[in-house]
Amino acid sequence: MKPHWLSLSKILRIFCSWQHNCIPSTMTDKIMSLSEAAAQLPQIAQLLWSGAVVAVPTDTIYGVSCSVHCEQAIKRIHQLKGRPMNKPMAICLDEVDSIPYWCNTTGLPQGLLNALLPGPVTLLLPKHSRDPLNAHLNPDAHLVGVRVTDHGFVRDLCATMGRLETNGFRSVGHPLVLTSANLSGDASALRIERVKLHSPNTGGRLWPAPLH
């Protein structure tokens, strides 16, 4: 069963509020249904552009995600998961056709990407020599994990962020950093109430709080 909820964490609201005053309080500290989230895609995309981190459903497990271009948000994911900074994280894109812009696909058999994606597969691909990704994302790695999930919401979010980047014009989707929404070494989260991450700024409290 695919996850059906999107989580925006209150702890991340606290983190973002002193970094990015433009994040509206009405869009943080929430767990919302996918139908609610889909109706607010531009606002959620703007949150990510502003440095927020969100927990999102995918076609496999819940993931935690941020804009690939936000160095502080990338660091925040490592902190929330208790994940070593030198441990690589994957990116997620909206369409298979976006992959060659962000990764080197030279030499791949024709049709291979479309045969595997969208789907529950992470491909390890070489970075471009002039890497368009954030230099702070996996700086010591020559390969990057790439996903195109078979979950419409995440793909729509990548596409919406790409349109924001180009003032509404069609472009390649904006990559989201994507990793599992659990403490490093713990079991993956298949239900929203299992999404638990650590915040050193709140005395070790986990988020989100238990659902009532």
Span 56-84, mean pLDDT?
Answer: 90
More confident residue, 55 or 202: 55
pLDDT at 5 over 80: no
Q: pTM for this one? A: 0.82
Task: State which fold the 4-194 domain adopts.
Answer: DHBP synthase (3.90.870)
Tell me how far apart the alpha carbons of residues 190 and 61 are, in angstroms, rounded to a whole number: 5
Span 151-156, mean pLDDT?
Answer: 91
pLDDT at 16 over 60: no
Strand order in the sheet with 90-92: 30-33, 5-8, 54-57, 62-67, 176-180, 90-92, 143-147, 123-126
Tell me how far apart the alpha carbons of residues 181 and 122 are, in angstroms, rounded to a whole number: 16
pLDDT at 124 over 70: yes
Tell me how far apart the alpha carbons of residues 194 and 63 are, in angstroms, rounded to a whole number: 11
Question: Which among 12, 63, 2, 64 is positioned nearest to 34, based on CA atoms?
Answer: 2
pLDDT at 142 over 90: yes
Per-residue pLDDT tens over the stretch 163-193: 887 665 556 789 999 999 888 888 888 777 6
More confident residue, 89 or 62: 89
Please give the pLDDT value at position 194. 72
Please give the pLDDT value at position 6. 62
Q: Which of 20-24, 71-75, 109-113 has the lowest mean pLDDT?
A: 20-24
Mean pLDDT of the chain: 80
Please give the pLDDT value at position 65. 92
- All structural domains of the chain with their residue ranges: 4-194
Please give the pLDDT value at position 199. 53
pLDDT at 126 over 80: yes
Q: Ranked by mean pLDDT, which of 7-11, 78-82, 175-179 comes out on top?
A: 175-179
More confident residue, 45 or 32: 45
